Amino acid sequence: MFIEPGIIGDKRGWIEVICGSMFSGKTEELIRRLKRAKIANQRVEIFKPSFDKRYDNEQVVSHDANKIHSTPVDNSQAILLLAENVDVVGIDEAHFFDMGIVQVCQALALRGVRVIIAGLDMDYMGRPFRPVPELLAISDFITKLHAICVVCGNIAAVSYRKTKDKEQFLLGEKDIYEARCMKCAALGS
């Protein structure tokens, strides 16, 4: 469902997407932007998928241990219910949300909320990781971050999976994934 962008009240909302591979700094950039909004005395609420407990049950934590308090949610619709009277909404791990996250972000922006959402744009096979491509299409601002290939040192855009697991959704850290360029990812181990 397409929602026409517009202004409700006297505030203009928008959608910012931060995307890239694992270890590219997406969550770190999300946290940086949210902390700046808090410094500016804006009302901020942060959400993450409830099943993502890799570093903490409630906090959004980057791989280099930067963190910010968040509210874990089971689905995208919960964000609409919980994001009342806020200026900025941050959402981490966009790729783990259902497709409804697209409409949730649009609805928040129409309320006049600045929405900052971070997630993988490609899965471990190098395929678009939905719903991030749809979020990119409706966003007002896009930041694509890159990691450094652990094999050759070039720019890395692939979250290379070191295991033989085939499911698309597999939570992990450096024990399961590493950043690789397209060439080194294609070469495998």
Residues with catalytic roles: 93
CB burial readout 114-150, b (16+ within 10 A) else e: bbbbbbbbbbbeeeebbbbbbbbebbeeebebbbebe
Q: For residue 151, which amino acid is it? A: V
Beta strands in 75-140 (DSSP E): 88-91, 114-120
Query: Do 151 and 180 contact (CB within 8 A), yes or no?
Result: yes
Beta strands in 55-183 (DSSP E): 59-61, 67-69, 71-73, 88-91, 114-120, 141-145, 147-148, 155-156, 158-161, 177-180
